Structure 1
Amino acid sequence: MWYKIEMNCKKILRINPFSFVLYFCIFFLCSQSFVYGELQTIHLPITIDYSILRSSLIQQAFNKPGEKAVPLDFGEGCSGIELWKPEVGPDKDKTMIKLGSNIKVRAGLPIGKTCMPLSEWDGYIEVFQNLFVDQKNMKLGFQTMDFRTLTPDRAQTSINTVLTNIIKNYLNPYLNKIIIDVDAPVKGLQDILPLFFQTKDQNNARSWFSKLRPGQVQIKQSGISLDLLMDIEKDRLSKEKTDVADNEKERDEIVKSWENLDAFSVYQVHTLIGHPVTEEEKYNILEMILDTRHDFIQNLEEGKLPRDLVSKQFCDIWQGFGPLMRKYLTKQQAVSSNFVLFSAVSDVLSSLRNIGPSIGVSFNKDALIKLAKLISVPGLPTDLQYLQVVDRRLLDFFGIGQIVDAVPMPSIYVPEIEIPDLLDSDKLANKIYKYFGFHPFQTFLNLSSSLVFADGPMIDPEKIRPWVFKKNDFSPYVERIGKKLEQVYVDIQKKKRLDSKYHIFFKNLLFATAWQETCWRQFVENKGKVRPLESYNQSSVGFMQINVRVWRGIYQPEALRWDIDYNMRTGCEILDLYLQRYALRRAETRTLDLDTLAMTVYAMYNAGPAQYKKFLLRRKNYKYSKVDQLFWQKYLWVKDGQYNKLSVCLIGK
């Protein structure tokens, strides 16, 4: 037995070195597969917009003054080709790139210092090119396959053989030299993308992205789609159903991450300011921002924050912003290379979200700041602060928030104030106030407040007193509120110029909305202490329940809380916005009666522009929500002038 063991050991030792190394490598690879798990190649398509391609074309070929290219200049202009004002896009079958340009071709014979002209043509040319990937050098290349000649008016025409040969021999090779460098943006992706992962996952992410490589390329209507390939462990690609945050710490992290994304979205809007963005495009941007904010608020109020909420919203926002940013930002050649990387990062992050939530993308502030710096604008901070202050540039861009003038308010949050003659429980203090003109508690409050509000004005209790409801003041209170709301309605309509046929309708809509939201209350009082009426999470405030997260940057939060006039005007403007900019501009609205239109506009007021289609679908299926039904009841009471019904919610009977 010992003899056999000895012989086997000698056989093992006699294995030649090459075989030993081969066996070792096989063992190592198998063990790595066991340790790291089975790998799967995933596809991460990025879009290279045609405007970016055009910028590359100008830099490499059309680099003479006036965006001119000169592929041939022979005999001091005796023979030559000139092109100018190039256009780039897909051909009709989306199989090749179509390069169009004005063109002038000359053929001549130099004789001494003179030129004998042979032929000349001015017109327009369309060159068709195949696109290929040079994976070794990480570049996209172009190969000219054919061309078509047209008149300056774009009618097809033909040219003689001499000119045709000049184009084939000189223009085609000239355009074949154009390349798009893929290596630089891929390295940029490898640098930035790991930042979008939690700290514990960043090393894994760096390993994945270090092997990023180009795959197939496709020509699409929106641009060139380049497929980037990456290998990742299969167990990280689980497409399990996303659940919700199940503890307070995780919910706080999602809220913070969402605030980072919201600040980033506003930053993207700022990069478009100053560009010739159309009114329709501005409406679409505002609609997208309002819908994402309402979506977040709804999930927050329901206590069900999906773990992938922020990544989903990032994808939705990029889907809306991407085409606009490609349209306007790539016109600046100085930022085009950075924008290529910005666009590629956004495309990859969207693809990673679609692959599966378990991959663990994290939208932290540092990563978003680095992304924002790629499209930085002089004078625009990239710190992405989530601030509750009015953004004047945003107001000008969207054309809203400008007809509501707020009175000066404290710059910090004021939870409540004390009003002396509302302190029914403190008779002695009220007697002191009655006979001596000051209230001991209020005097102390004023002294302390003068220190707290050193950076802002005090809140004037006298301006608040008439708008605090007391049960023994029902009829006078309703009359005061009605007159004030009527005046707000009249003032807003003078500025907004609503068609007169909608005036009575809009007044009913405004009164019913305020009834539904707060039962005509701006404040609530308890034992002389007055505070603004707020939702349980303090995000919706005042008479019209304006959500300060949804309208962040547009309206002043403290004025919404303490100035009833400002709150009313804000709510009135928002209703007008949803009516005139969104509802009345849509073809479906023409088929709606005014009562249905009122319910549709309120649905948007309550939960964002996306509710336009959602409400009409509920109406079609006769599946009205509880909120729809409650508003409808208030709206009918307003139409019938039954304001005495306010006692149900104000007094309880």
Structure 2
Amino acid sequence: MTTATERPPRRSPRYWTRIALLVAAGLLSEWARANADATTAADASLGEDHEPSSSLRVAVPLQIDYPLLERLLVTQLFTGPEQSRDVLEDPSSCSQVVLSEPNVSPSDSKIDLLADVNARIGFGSTGNCATMLTWKGRIGISGIPEARSDGTALGFSPERVWLMNPAGQTVNNPQIQALAESSVRGIFERFTVDLKPQIQSIEEFLPDVLPDHSKDQIETLLSTLRVGELRATEQVLSAEITFEVDPLSTALEPERALSEDELAAWEERWQLMDSLLVLTVKHYAAATQLQELRDALLEVLIESRYRLRDALSVEPSTDEEQDLVRDWFLQSWQSLAPILQRIGLDQPGQEHLLLISVIAATDALEALDQLGPSVGLDISASGLRRLARMINGSAGDDLLNYSDALDPELRQLFEDSFESTDISFDWRWDLSFFPKAFAASDDRLNSWAPKRQELAEYLPLVAVLLEESIDNAIASRKLDSAYQELFRRLVYTTAWQESCWRHYTVSKDQKLVPLRSGTGDVGLMQINERVWRGFYDQQRLRWDIAYNSDAGAEVLIDYLMKYAIRKGEHKQNGGVSNLARSSYSTYNGGPSKVARYRSSKASTYGKKVDTAFWTKYQQVAAGNELAVSTCLGGDLSGPAIVSRGKSSRNKQGTSQSSTHSPTQSLIQSSVVTPQSFTLQLGVFSTLEAARSFVTQQSLGEDAVVRQRRTVDTSQYLVVYGVYKTREEAETARKNLTRLQPWIRQFSDI
């Protein structure tokens, strides 16, 4: 704990590099007081009992990038055609010195403005000018950065002006030089970066995050602001800003468990934090057309969700565990800030300066957090709502609602992150991401917590469901054929590792409930509800096994393609199988854990989980998927599906054959009457799904797919055999009990 006379105990590299724009948005309001007299004045204003040595000192680097300065310069000064400016402003227009194509760059701790010059010197009156001299070249103006307007604005004091020929060589032209000295200096002196809106935002924000500090203490904090010499580095315009903040006089309470009311407030706060990150990601993703930046925003959000999951896995208390969530929030913003700055640079007008308000506010949180608990930093609900309004105006409050529903904007951002932009996903908005694998078995799996004696029947049905999710994920994402078998094994093994192929279990009060972990993972694929909030419908993740299976396959193929393959994990020692191991490490730990499976620095927990996955994966790769039964008390072995077949496919991906099957021939012949019987094995929404089922179940030539049209849709029935009597159909049915066939007459079909 930091005492009143100690320096802050924590000084991480992140602290010195990410505080960046803190002062730019709020603390520059006191620049004019950054001199020796300000110290005396500030101490006097606090009264005789104030002890300056009791304050905690904060040093904050201010960093403003040159592209922003250049854009603001153009916006203010170069308002003529094609970003030009006539610096003479001669009423007769007989003489002109037009600057264009401005460029801002650093030079020896100063700022240089370089621009093209097109000069014409003449005399006369409007429409009757005599030209004395013309000249084209370049001009350079060097300026010293300075604070202006009582510290609420930033400007530059011109120091030197020089001329260059088009090749960039310095030249001496006394007439043009004299005009430049008298006019260009004045123009450059007018350039001002107004920071009043950002200052006001921070001044309003600080009381929300320092609720135990009085108004006088907040004002004192600002009055102690100090700014060193502004310096133009090779990368940014920087300065070290310092200020002091008083620690709380009241001793902190000892760590204890939260009360019921405190727990409710704590839960509301982390939900608001998560909602604010979502609002930020969606708002700025919509502000850029660069897919690279949209992908980066999405990755930060998903990675932050994994860390939130871990932070919430610890029972909260008044001190330490709440800090875990606060650290998560601050770290998430540190990851977002550089992406937001890049997006902001592409925005017109003053939009980037508005963005500084948001970044500066969160950097202020980080700076105060470094001082430790004695400062009493509190990221309150009102503070979070104020940040939301900075991002999206008055609508911010409404957009912080924490909802379990699917968010179309997040869903679209997720879809857009794939390289295959030619694939349309509009058909998924009915929330049924992939066609259902089967009908009769699907309903049973959605209400089945299997007992040990049922595993021989249950597990093959789950395998069929997983196969359908695998096939559709491969088709929708256009996964290269070289990785398709690996992906199939990956999905099988992940379902084994996560749930032992179960979606439901029986509660203590004998109710059927979705399988759920203590960290919020649910169902067959243990999709974490906090990580994937907004990307999937959480009610369907809980109560629809096929939906859960589809979601898990989709997340896995996302991690396989965007992380494991793209980052070249198959080029590491271990070869192609690394892709499966890497994809699962990411599935379990988030995008930052793509190489956890091979890292010597992985946590004990991470190593244990990855080792267990690899053991199971090797079983699946050997064709022993049914070994999953061992974690449910069974002793089955072998493949879950006897044969997957090797049907050839045409360009549309459908199976093709040169001859009709026996059943097909019988159906088309006069032997079949409306009173004949057959076995219906399933109803599917697509032809491909039906044919895939036939292949997966090794039904051979006796199975036929028949289309049945309704008013609005088409369905595809898989029927098996043709029988004259119900008794014959009943005898055949006994050989297919695992598929729960339905005896039907052709007249009913």
Same fold, judged at TM 0.5 (above) = yes
Matches within 5 A, 1:66-465: 66-74=82-90, 76-91=92-107, 95-110=109-124, 114-134=128-148, 136=150, 138-147=152-161, 156=169, 158=171, 160-182=173-195, 184-198=197-211, 200-201=212-213, 203=215, 206-211=218-223, 213=225, 215-216=227-228, 217-220=230-233, 223-233=236-246, 246-247=257-258, 253-303=265-315, 306-329=321-344, 331-333=347-349, 335-376=351-392, 382-399=398-415, 402=425, 405=428, 462=443, 464-465=445-446
Q: What secondary structure sits across from 2:244 in the alignment?
A: strand
Q: What secondary structure sits across from 1:573 in the alignment?
A: helix
Q: Which residue of 2 is the match for residue 645 of structure 1?
A: 627
**Which sits farther off after the overlay, 472-481 or 203-212?**
203-212
Q: Which residue of 2 is the match for residue 412 of structure 1?
A: none
Q: Which residue of 1 is the match for residue 705 of structure 2?
A: none
Shift of 1:57: 2.3
Deviations 1:254-290, CA, capped at 9 Å, x for gaps: 4432221111111111222333342222222222112
Instruction: Write the distance in 1 (CA, Å) between the matches of 2:430 and 2:391.
Output: 36
Instruction: Write the distance in 1 (CA, Å) between the matches of 2:374 and 2:388.
Output: 25
Shift of 1:191: 2.0
Deviations 1:627-647, CA, capped at 9 Å, x for gaps: 111111110110011123222
Compared CA separation, residues 367 and 269, structure 1 to 2 (3 A)? same
Deviations 1:125-163, CA, capped at 9 Å, x for gaps: 4433210234845432312234565677x7556463322
CA contact (8 A) 2:565 2:579 kept: no
Compared CA separation, residues 279 and 502, structure 1 to 2 (3 A)? same
Shift of 1:620: 9.4
**Which sits farther off after the overlay, 274-283 or 573-582?**
274-283
Q: Which residue of 2 is the match for residue 559 of structure 1?
A: 540
Compared CA separation, residues 290 and 157, structure 1 to 2 (3 A)? same
Q: Which residue of 2 is the match for residue 536 of structure 1?
A: 518
Instruction: Write the distance in 1 (CA, Å) between the matches of 2:203 and 2:121.
Output: 50
Q: Which residue of 1 is the match for residue 474 of structure 2?
A: 493
Deviations 1:340-391, CA, capped at 9 Å, x for gaps: 4333323322222233343222222221222222232697765411211111
Q: 1:618 aligned to 600, 615, 619, which one?
A: 600
Instruction: Write the distance in 2 (CA, Å) between the matches of 1:293 and 1:179.
Output: 40
Shift of 1:545: 0.3
Instruction: Write the distance in 2 (CA, Å) between the matches of 1:329 and 1:378.
Output: 20
Q: What secondary structure sits across from 2:141 in the alignment?
A: strand
Q: What secondary structure sits across from 2:525 in the alignment?
A: coil
Compared CA separation, residues 465 and 179, structure 1 to 2 (3 A)? closer
Q: What secondary structure sits across from 1:76 in the alignment?
A: coil
Q: What secondary structure sits across from 1:641 in the alignment?
A: coil
Compared CA separation, residues 362 and 220, structure 1 to 2 (3 A)? farther
Q: What secondary structure sits across from 1:290 in the alignment?
A: helix
The one-letter code sitting in structure 1 at the alignment partner of 2:452 is K
1:549 aligns with 2:564: no
Sequence identity percentage: 25
Shift of 1:578: 0.9
Q: What secondary structure sits across from 2:517 in the alignment?
A: coil
Q: What secondary structure sits across from 2:531 in the alignment?
A: coil
Compared CA separation, residues 132 and 620, structure 1 to 2 (3 A)? same
Instruction: Write the distance in 1 (CA, Å) between the matches of 2:605 and 2:408.
Output: 41
Shift of 1:97: 2.1
Q: Which residue of 2 is the match for residue 600 of structure 1?
A: 582
CA contact (8 A) 2:279 2:399 kept: no
Deviations 1:214-240, CA, capped at 9 Å, x for gaps: 5123435664345444322367899x9
CA contact (8 A) 2:94 2:120 kept: yes
Compared CA separation, residues 140 and 235, structure 1 to 2 (3 A)? same
The one-letter code sitting in structure 1 at the alignment partner of 2:589 is A
Compared CA separation, residues 619 and 536, structure 1 to 2 (3 A)? closer
The one-letter code sitting in structure 2 at the alignment partner of 1:325 is L
Instruction: Write the distance in 2 (CA, Å) between the matches of 1:161 and 1:557.
Output: 75
The one-letter code sitting in structure 1 at the alignment partner of 2:472 is D
Shift of 1:332: 3.2
Shift of 1:90: 3.3
Shift of 1:313: 2.9
Q: Which residue of 1 is the match for residue 738 of structure 2?
A: none
Q: What secondary structure sits across from 2:401 in the alignment?
A: coil
Deviations 1:398-420, CA, capped at 9 Å, x for gaps: 326958948779xxxxxxxxxxx
Compared CA separation, residues 272 and 30, structure 1 to 2 (3 A)? closer
Instruction: Write the distance in 2 (CA, Å) between the matches of 1:468 and 1:622.
Output: 32
Q: What secondary structure sits across from 1:88 in the alignment?
A: strand
CA contact (8 A) 2:137 2:164 kept: yes
The one-letter code sitting in structure 1 at the alignment partner of 2:90 is F
Shift of 1:494: 0.9
Q: Which residue of 2 is the match for residue 417 of structure 1?
A: none
Q: Flag structure 2 segments of 5+ consecutive residues without an equivalent.
A: 1-42, 418-424, 433-440, 636-749
CA contact (8 A) 1:119 1:163 kept: no
1:517 aligns with 2:534: no
- Superposition TM-score, scaled by structure 1 size: 0.77
Q: Which residue of 2 is the match for residue 627 of structure 1?
A: 609
Deviations 1:318-347, CA, capped at 9 Å, x for gaps: 333223323334523254553343333233
Shift of 1:182: 4.4
1:585 aligns with 2:569: no
Shift of 1:579: 1.2
Instruction: Write the distance in 2 (CA, Å) between the matches of 1:120 and 1:54.
Output: 28
- Superposition TM-score, scaled by structure 2 size: 0.68
Instruction: Write the distance in 1 (CA, Å) between the matches of 2:603 and 2:276.
Output: 38
Instruction: Write the distance in 2 (CA, Å) between the matches of 1:214 and 1:405.
Output: 56
The one-letter code sitting in structure 1 at the alignment partner of 2:49 is Q
Q: What secondary structure sits across from 2:85 in the alignment?
A: strand
CA contact (8 A) 2:76 2:191 kept: yes
RMSD between superposed Cα atoms in Å:
3.8
CA contact (8 A) 1:390 1:553 kept: yes
1:503 aligns with 2:484: yes
Shift of 1:293: 1.4
Shift of 1:509: 0.8
Q: What secondary structure sits across from 1:625 in the alignment?
A: helix
Deviations 1:420-461, CA, capped at 9 Å, x for gaps: xxxxxxxxxxxxxxxxxxxxxxxxxxxxxxxxxxxxxxxx99
Compared CA separation, residues 222 and 543, structure 1 to 2 (3 A)? farther
Shift of 1:108: 2.6
The one-letter code sitting in structure 1 at the alignment partner of 2:453 is N
